[in-house]
Amino acid sequence: MSPLLKSVQLAYGRTGLIVAVPRTARIIEPSHLRGLPDEAGAVAEALRHPIGAPPLKGLVQAGDRVAIVISDLTRPTPNEKLVPWLLRELDQVPRDHVVIINGTGSHRANTRDELVQMLGRDIVDSVKVENHDAFDDARLAHVGRNSYGSEVYLNRTYVEADFRIVTGFIEPHFFAGFSGGPKGIQPGIAGIRTILDFHNARMIGHPNSTWGVLEGNILQDSAVQNCLMARPHFMLNVTLNGRKEITGVFAGDVIQAHRAGCEFVRRSAMHAVDHPYDIVITTNAGYPLDQNLYQTTKGMSAAAQIVKQGGAIIAASECCDGLPAHGNYGRILQMRETPRELLDMIMDPSFSVFDQWTVQTQALFQLKAECFLYSSLDPATVRQAKFTPTADLEKTLAELLERYGPEARVAVLPYGPMTIPYVRRSARV
């Protein structure tokens, strides 16, 4: 290797990807927190000494019908650990009184094999697991109207349960500031009309609907309002490092415990830089987050926070599940020729199609920077999605360095949206 280069390991699929970058490149990673030495013990301790709530076990009666909301396969939440540990703590409740609700939002239902992968065979064989269906009105319950004028529909099984638990993990989020907490309910188990309102162009386009912002974030506020209309009686959220190990456990009240987790993540995952960069290389944190291009826009949005106007973003994301095939993401991308035209279409109040929020975000960062994608997708599909395909990341980087000249600034986000950089003078963080 040239003495002017250094190797960087990118989170890509299940195996990772090694690339050579300039030795002067800024590598921006989350603080490498160690995984907890006793994850099960830490979760048990959090359940018995929660934040803003009494201990879990004493809250639940043996005859209660208990609903546990989990995040779906597109999230790295360690459901296979958290759910058994919850059930162990609630050993007074028969398993046939428990239902696990897979919070798919507007995503596709997960298959039995995927549920086994997510939860373990013992749980799938002994506990009822329900894929949330945002499109089936019969499986939804109306719980109220929020201050933004949205009629709020949530999963009926969840609403009618005697005791409601929401699980998840907390990381910076490109709309809501941080994931986890109320977002497990909204959009996780919301009806499609409520999801459309939640992600409408006005909500997504608000300047505070962005990474790392909670106060004044109308999207987070909407999630909180909707969640509290059928408030979870208990929350269990965790934080993760780049190896998907648990680094923190936040349990108890859905608002108080979530806020504590967000502050923990802010300290480890938000990184200030002094200037924008000509070229930013990013990922979508590897599998399962980089299963499709729809999710990959998060890693690109993270890169867009520090790329200069007219710069370039190179994303490495396997996209083994395609665009994906389900949903409207691919269809919306074909409705107009350019990102500008797509954005204008979406901003028209008469336009309302689920998945438009991802195209809106994509159009915004594509108007700022040229976007390249290294993936398993065929080049034609990548071009149809308005990205430039690359089969050789290092060659593309070399060509861009020639374009921007010897003083070009390069930054690398090996874990994509698990690290959110921002230009220090920005008032957005």
User: What CATH number does residue 353 fall under?
Assistant: 3.90.226.30
User: Of 217, 233, 267, which residue is a domain's last?
Assistant: 267
Per-residue pLDDT band for 3 (boundaries 50, 70, 90) equals low
Please indicate, yes or no, if residue 147 is contained in any of the structural domains.
yes
Per-residue pLDDT band for 428 (boundaries 50, 70, 90) equals very low
Question: Angle at which helices 339-347 and 356-368 pack, to 10 degrees?
Answer: 140
Pair 22, 70 in one domain: no
Pair 215, 283 in one domain: no
pLDDT in tens, 58-69: 999 999 999 999
The span from the CA of 380 to the CA of 387, in Å, is 10
First to last CA, the chain: 38
Range of the domain at 168: 39-267
pLDDT in tens, 271-303: 999 999 999 999 999 998 899 999 999 999 999
pLDDT score for 365 = 96
pLDDT score for 1 = 60
Is the pLDDT reported for residue 401 higher than 50?
yes
Question: So which residues are the catalytic ones?
Answer: 107, 173
Pair 244, 96 in one domain: yes
Question: In the beta sheet, which residues pair with residue 18?
Answer: 9
Please indicate, yes or no, if residue 120 is contained in any of the structural domains.
yes
Is the pLDDT reported for residue 198 higher than 90?
yes
Average pLDDT over residues 20-37: 93
Per-residue pLDDT band for 261 (boundaries 50, 70, 90) equals very high
pLDDT score for 30 = 82
Pair 114, 183 in one domain: yes
Instruction: Name the percent of the chain lying above pLDDT 90.
Output: 86
Supply the CATH number for residue 251's domain.
3.40.50.11440
**How high does pLDDT run on average in the chain?**
94
Is the pLDDT reported for residue 140 higher than 60?
yes
Average pLDDT over residues 306-312: 97
- Strand duo 234-240 + 163-169: pairing: parallel
Please indicate, yes or no, if residue 429 is contained in any of the structural domains.
no
pLDDT in tens, 349-371: 899 888 898 999 999 999 999 99
Pair 101, 117 in one domain: yes
Pair 73, 209 in one domain: yes
Please indicate, yes or no, if residue 350 is contained in any of the structural domains.
yes
Instruction: Name the percent of the chain lying above pLDDT 70.
Output: 98
Please indicate, yes or no, if residue 119 is contained in any of the structural domains.
yes
pLDDT score for 427 = 40
Looking at the 3D structure of the chain, how many domains does it have? 2
pLDDT score for 244 = 86
Is residue 283 a contact partner of residue 419, using CB atoms and an 8 Å limit?
no
pLDDT score for 382 = 97
pLDDT score for 32 = 81
pTM of the model: 0.84
